[in-house]
């Protein structure tokens, strides 16, 4: 299982939010490119990059710094990128620049035909993002709740052929309270598509719990943010723990 550091971009800086609220942004670095190099140096095997301004605006807003991150570390480790990606031209532009996986969130929910087209046009490169609270999906940078059920949408996205699903529990994100094992397990058991868990990863024991309970059900990664930036979680130790736990589960 991969431990995937998150680089969330707001106004060109590396920040973390609490429960997706843009007003709660804590700036952890004025230099996201240096931060990307740092995580690469710490042994990251993938990076999760989000254009937060883009997610709210519905179009890329931090493209310059994203391309600088790609240039700095894109040849060393795969980058998955989301936030404000609403058309095939944007996907193609980012993939041409060196992004390995494109994450489609709001547009996947609001315009499923677009997600289907993207999976057809870029096979193996599209990840759907499902952000939820109490089993219901949120969109537009988590600012709006929908009536869509997470499991129902996941099954639909699976039919389109997404490479993976990123499942974020909004209530846990940035709060460092542990991954929502129960909700993630329920989703994992309902589909065959690989799932990346997001929201709340806080300690080595969290990593071990995810590995023990979720990896056998198809969880292939866990995104870590605030806990890494505040020093609660050491990336190398977390990845080592994940490697040991998953080897033991085989």
Catalytic residue set: 8, 131
Nearest alpha carbon to residue 188 among 165, 160, 163: 165
Measured CA to CA, the distance from residue 197 to residue 164 in angstroms comes to: 11
Q: Is 140 left (phi over 0), alpha (psi -120 to 50) or beta?
A: left
Helices 63-73 + 88-97 axis angle, to 10: 30
Measured CA to CA, the distance from residue 204 to residue 106 in angstroms comes to: 31
Q: Tokens at residue 107, please?
A: 């547009």
């Amino acid at each position: 299982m991969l431990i995937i550091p998150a680089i969330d971009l707001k106004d060109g800086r590396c920040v973390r939010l609490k429960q997706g609220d843009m007003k709660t942004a804590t700036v952890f670095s004025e230099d996201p490119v240096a931060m990307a190099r740092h995580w690469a140096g710490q042994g990251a095997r993938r990076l999760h990059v989000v254009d937060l301004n883009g997610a709210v605006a519905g179009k890329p807003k931090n493209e310059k710094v994203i391309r600088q991150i790609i240039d700095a570390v894109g040849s060393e480790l795969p980058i998955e990128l989301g936030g404000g990606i609403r058309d095939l031209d944007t996907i193609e532009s980012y993939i041409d620049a060196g992004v390995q996986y494109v994450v489609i969130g709001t547009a996947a929910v609001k315009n499923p035909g677009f997600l289907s087209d993207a999976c057809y046009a870029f096979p193996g490169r599209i990840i759907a993002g499902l952000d939820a609270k109490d089993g219901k999906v949120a969109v537009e940078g988590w600012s709006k709740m929908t009536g869509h059920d997470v499991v129902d949408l996941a099954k639909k996205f699976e039919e389109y052929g997404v490479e993976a699903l990123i499942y974020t529990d909004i209530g846990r994100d940035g709060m460092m309270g542990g991954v929502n094992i129960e909700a993630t397990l329920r989703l994992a058991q309902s589909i065959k598509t690989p799932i990346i868990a997001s929201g709340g990863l806080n300690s080595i024991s969290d990593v071990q719990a995810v590995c023990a309970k979720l990896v056998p059900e198809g969880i292939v990664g866990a995104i870590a943010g605030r806990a890494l930036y505040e020093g609660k979680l050491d990336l190398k130790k977390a990845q080592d723990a994940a490697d040991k736990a998953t080897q033991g589960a085989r």
